[in-house]
Amino acid sequence: MNENWYFTAPWDPVPIRRGDALGFRLIADHFADLIAPGLSNGTSDARWIAILSWCLQWSGVAWRKAGGGDLSTRDGQKARYAWLRPLELLWVARTLESGQTTGQLRGKRGVQRWLNLKERKRPANFTMSADQFRRYRQIGTYGVYRVALRSMPGLTTGDGWTLGDEGQKLAKLVNQNLPKSAQLEQEQFKSTRWGSWSGNEARYWVENGWKDWNCKSSRQFLPTPNEAILELLPNEERKILRAAIFDKDSTRLKMAEIVARAENAKTHAEICDVLAKNFPDTLSSLPAFTRFADAAMDAMRAMWIQINQNKDSQTPTIDSIAGSMKSNGLEPLLKAGREWCAWLKSNQQSGFPKGHDVVTALAESLSKAKTPTDQIRALSLHHEEYGGGGAGSAFRMTS
């Protein structure tokens, strides 16, 4: 009897099936909050903090002119974001119009379709479906940076909407770096029939509020392209951002200083060793978790490659997959799993991080699996039960 695996598209929504393959998000978020509160993998370009500060300032002006609302309510926040979202997307459009195609450009495909249309035929939703346009609040740029804007001192007053001192400085800096015709001024918002734009906020910005959004300039102030991600931002911008992100006595500053001094740490895991050494009370389990999580994801990727290496036959037997992965993927995973279990055993009195039970479930199931075939099966079943695999991700068929 040969066991074949047939993979189909998972029925889970994209954010679920792609975001957390092994169910480790809770413990990963736990460590992230201890090491870099307010930041995430998505907050990768500090330039966007400046751009979003500008967007918050001017969308706030328009929102108040249109009647404002109570930001402590869901409806109030929804109405406030309706004025912000078009500016986010117009910055993506402005970047694409400049010829830059890389960088953090969320909604890029929809915006590019929008740009490809003649101006008078461009829909107000940037060619997104109604559901995509609505969900952009969560998956768009503001959604990614919202926690940072809310929690970092001075960017906002703490609500994520109302600019603080540092946010106002950034908004002013961005405006000064725009071409003269694209700069916004308070006087522009005095004469318009605001009631006529209710529900048409995107059209307001394109046709009235920021109609010169695509004005070209030799001085490009845009999201950072991929090829320049390691380059420093201009001094003035960097000084303002540093005051907010690495404020005195902040956890982020302490962690950054420790990592900067760790000259001998060459890998992600070695940096985690350094952090654990400096913060044994809270991060002692970080190295073991890091090595196990990295090894587990390496094994998942190796398994996916084995399944998809032959485009004509995507039904390899589990034995053939296990044979190919025995040394390339499984052995490092088993070793890291043993190290995680050893840490748990030797730290019974320390208190375990949130979400450790899911990590332990995988480590223990792998330790009980005696053959490579059983180990592959254990990894896949864990992916289905705890991660984003879902019931539809793999049908194990025998013949």
Torsion over CA: 229, 136, 35, 330 (sign): negative
Helix, strand, coil tally for the chain in percent (to 5): 60, 5, 35
CA pair distance 272, 270, nearest whole angstrom: 5
Q: What tokens does 355 get?
A: 């979400």
In contact, 358 and 28? CB cutoff 8 Å: no
Q: Nearest to residue 126, comparing CAs of 107, 111, 104, 142? A: 111
Torsion over CA: 361, 366, 367, 368 (sign): positive
Q: Residues 6 or more apart from 225 whose CB is under 8 A from it?
A: 100, 102, 103
Question: What residue has token string 């088993």?
Answer: 334
Burial, 367: exposed, middle or buried (Cβ in 10 Å; 0-12, 13-18, 19+)?
middle
Domain definitions of the chain by residue range: 3-36+266-398, 47-228
What 3-state DSSP class applies to 166? helix
Predicted confidence at residue 66, as pLDDT, reads 93
CA pair distance 342, 62, nearest whole angstrom: 58
CA pair distance 276, 264, nearest whole angstrom: 15
Q: Nearest to residue 293, comparing CAs of 324, 322, 272, 316? A: 272
In this structure, the strands spanning 394-398 and 3-7 are antiparallel
CA pair distance 175, 179, nearest whole angstrom: 8
Q: Is the pTM of this model over 0.75?
A: yes
Predicted confidence at residue 317, as pLDDT, reads 66
Question: What residue has token string 């398994």?
Answer: 303
Predicted confidence at residue 379, as pLDDT, reads 92
How many residues make up the chain in this entry?
399
Torsion over CA: 156, 160, 161, 167 (sign): positive
List the chain pLDDT tens, one digit each, 399 residues.
455 444 444 444 433 445 688 999 999 999 999 999 999 889 999 999 999 999 999 999 999 999 999 999 999 999 999 999 999 999 999 999 999 999 999 999 999 999 999 988 999 899 999 999 999 999 999 999 999 999 999 999 999 999 999 999 999 999 999 999 999 999 989 877 888 898 899 999 999 999 999 998 767 899 999 999 999 999 999 999 999 999 988 999 999 999 999 999 999 999 999 999 999 999 999 999 999 999 999 988 888 877 776 566 556 666 767 666 666 678 999 999 999 999 988 886 566 788 899 999 999 999 999 888 899 899 989 998 988 654 434 434 333
Q: What tokens does 66 get?
A: 């249109």
Strand residue runs (E) in the chain: 3-7, 394-398
Burial, 219: exposed, middle or buried (Cβ in 10 Å; 0-12, 13-18, 19+)?
exposed
Q: Residues 6 or more apart from 218 whose CB is under 8 A from it?
A: none
CA pair distance 271, 35, nearest whole angstrom: 12
Predicted confidence at residue 190, as pLDDT, reads 84
Predicted confidence at residue 1, as pLDDT, reads 45
Q: Nearest to residue 105, comparing CAs of 146, 134, 139? A: 139
In contact, 154 and 244? CB cutoff 8 Å: yes
Q: Residues 6 or more apart from 113 whose CB is under 8 A from it?
A: 127
Q: How many CA atoms lie within 13 A of 276 on its CB side?
A: 17
In contact, 88 and 141? CB cutoff 8 Å: yes
C-alpha distances out from residue 80 to 69, 155, 161, 201, 206, Å: 8, 17, 8, 10, 17
CA pair distance 185, 162, nearest whole angstrom: 18
CA pair distance 5, 7, nearest whole angstrom: 6
Q: What tokens does 103 get?
A: 């960088």
